[in-house]
């Protein structure tokens, strides 16, 4: 509608602009057919299939899922939330890495500076810590949920085994991260934890020595735990997660109904 001066209203201009962008070749090239972001998307059964089938989501989800699996009360979304927390922890962890040096001299000061003089530093650190605790919890609850549904029964036996590995890796990730602030809490919790591991006969002391880079927690341990925490364990856990998700679909999707 004209404003009386031969011009267009702002809202109309924006609308026109949006239409032009969504009809443009750049936008067109960004989304595959059936994307809801594409111009002219309509909510048809075919397009509903395309949203999954024609996008990267197809690596995670099939086009259709069992109706009972969609109910929140069946899964409580625990597996998905564990995965999402992992992503959140990766994002916040990368942020923290910018401000952190894994040496006995610098680590504590860096964390202190991060909490006091970096914008949102304290918030991101808190999110990383509480998110990590939450992830241990959701992974554990996810395992319990799977057990009570008997979802580890054939053909899903091996996916359960992978799941236990993922729980172990989650615990290790959390435990290696525990040391990094290099405060009294970190040092002595890790000392107690590794002492417990050292009780394992035959290879226990060896593993403890390799893990600590010595006979007790030192600056070497800090570097080791840092590398394990930010590189090695995430790398391993991503591989296990990929197999885990893949097996969920190959073994016939979500289990049940009871």
Partner 1 sequence: MVDIPEHLLLRSAEAKAKALGVPVEQVLAEMRGEALPPSASTTPSETPEVSTPDDSETSAGEEPAVEADVVAIGDVAEPEVQADAQAVEPDVVEQPLAAVATTGDAGPDVANSQPPASGGDSPLAATVSPRPVAQPEAVPEGVRTQRLLTVVKARAIQQVKSSPADKVNTWPHLMIAEFTALLVMTGFLIILSVILQAPLLELANFNATPNPSKAPWYFLGLQELLSYYDPQIAGVIVPGISGLIGFMAIPYIDRNPSTKPSDRKFAILLFTFFLAGSATLTMLGVLFRGPGFNFTYPWADGIWFDDLKDWVYFE
69, 254, 255 from 258: Cα distances, Å: 11, 11, 8
Q: How far is the CB of 246 from partner 1 (least distance, A)?
A: 10
Q: How far is the CB of 24 from partner 1 (least distance, A)?
A: 25
Tokens standing for residue 140? 């554990």
Q: How far is the CB of 224 from partner 1 (least distance, A)?
A: 15
Q: Which long-range contacts (CB under 8 A, 24 or more apart) does 229-236 make?
A: 229/173, 229/176, 229/177, 229/180, 230/93, 230/97, 233/169, 233/172, 233/173, 233/176, 234/90, 234/173, 236/169
103 binds partner 1 (CB under 8 A): no
- Beta carbon nearer to partner 1, 8 or 249: 249
Q: How far is the CB of 32 from partner 1 (least distance, A)?
A: 13
Using CB under 8 A as the binding rule, the residues of this chain from 170 to 189 that contact partner 1 are: 171, 174-175, 178, 181-189
- Beta carbon nearer to partner 1, 93 or 131: 131
- Beta carbon nearer to partner 1, 19 or 144: 144
- Select the span of 1-9, 10-18, 144-152, 225-233 touching partner 1 (CB under 8 A): 144-152
Task: Name the β-bridge partners of 8.
Answer: 2
151 binds partner 1 (CB under 8 A): yes
Is 122 in contact with 114 (CB distance < 8 Å)? yes
Task: Tell me if residue 8 falls in helix, strand or coil.
Answer: strand
Report the candidate in 203, 194, 201, 185 with the shortest Cα–Cα distance to residue 228: 194
72 binds partner 1 (CB under 8 A): yes
Candidate list 38, 51, 95, 173; residue touching partner 1; CB under 8 A: 51
For the window 196-225, what string marks contact with partner 1 as x by the rule CB under 8 A? xx-xxx--x-----------xx--------
């Amino acid at each position: 509608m004209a404003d009386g001066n031969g011009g267009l209203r702002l809202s109309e201009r924006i609308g026109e602009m949006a239409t032009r962008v969504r009809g443009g070749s750049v936008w067109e090239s960004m989304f595959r057919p059936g994307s809801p972001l594409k111009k002219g998307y309509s909510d048809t059964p075919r397009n509903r299939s395309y949203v999954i089938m024609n996008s990267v989501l197809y690596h995670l989800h099939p086009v259709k899922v069992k109706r009972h699996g969609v109910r929140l009360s069946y899964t409580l979304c625990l597996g998905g939330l564990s995965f999402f927390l992992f992503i959140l922890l990766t994002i916040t962890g990368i942020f923290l890495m910018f401000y952190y040096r894994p040496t006995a001299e610098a680590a504590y000061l860096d964390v202190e500076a991060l909490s006091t003089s970096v914008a949102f530093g304290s918030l991101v650190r808190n999110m990383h810590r509480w998110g990590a605790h939450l992830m241990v919890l959701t992974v554990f609850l996810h395992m319990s949920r799977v057990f009570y549904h008997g979802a580890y029964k054939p053909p899903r036996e091996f996916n359960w085994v992978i799941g236990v590995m993922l729980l172990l890796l989650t615990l290790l990730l959390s435990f290696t991260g525990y040391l990094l602030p290099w405060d009294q809490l970190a040092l002595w919790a890790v000392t107690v934890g590794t002492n417990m591991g050292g009780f394992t006969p035959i290879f226990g002391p060896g593993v403890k020595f390799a893990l600590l880079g010595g006979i007790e927690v030192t600056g070497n341990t800090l570097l080791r735990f840092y590398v394990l925490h930010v590189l090695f364990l995430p790398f391993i856990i991503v591989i296990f997660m990929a197999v885990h998700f893949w097996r969920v679909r190959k073994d016939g999707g979500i289990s049940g109904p009871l």
